[in-house]
Amino acid sequence: MRHRMARIPLLFALGLAGAGAHAACSKDAAPSIPDGKAASEAEMGAAQAAVKGYIANANAYLACVQTALDSAATPKAEKAALNKQYNATVDEMQAVAGKWKTAITAFKSK
């Protein structure tokens, strides 16, 4: 009986590991971008650092998701969901970059 109980946590852990290679992939939320016309230099500097950090984290997330997509062990249905997540992240990154460009242009034109 003791051996059987010892196997349960191991089997549970193995089941979770197989549940999705992308489970270890994590992404930060998109940063808040201030209004460039009203923001101070300090606010814009903090926003720039937040955007750079977000982009770096999002690129790492995309690499992680790509690894799961490339894995033969990832089920086809999971690959479809991962592909949607990948594309949504790219769209979000482009939106953040566009908002940052608008904000910095407005800030510089003050």
pTM listed for this prediction: 0.77
Contacts of 88 (CB under 8 A, 6+ apart): none
DSSP class of residue 74? S
The predicted structure's pLDDT at residue 24: 83
Q: What is the pLDDT of residues 46-97, one digit of tens each?
A: 999 999 999 999 999 999 999 999 999 999 999 999 999 999 999 999 999 9
Q: What is the pLDDT of residues 25-46, one digit of tens each?
A: 999 999 999 999 999 999 999 9
End-to-end Cα separation, the chain, in angstroms: 75
Predicted confidence (pLDDT) at residue 20 exceeds the cutoff of 80: no
Distance CA 15, CA 75 (A): 14
Predicted confidence (pLDDT) at residue 10 exceeds the cutoff of 70: no
The predicted structure's pLDDT at residue 22: 55
Domain ranges of the chain: 22-108
Contact 69, 86 (CB under 8 A): yes
The predicted structure's pLDDT at residue 66: 97
CA-based nearest residue to 50, from 63, 36, 26, 32: 32
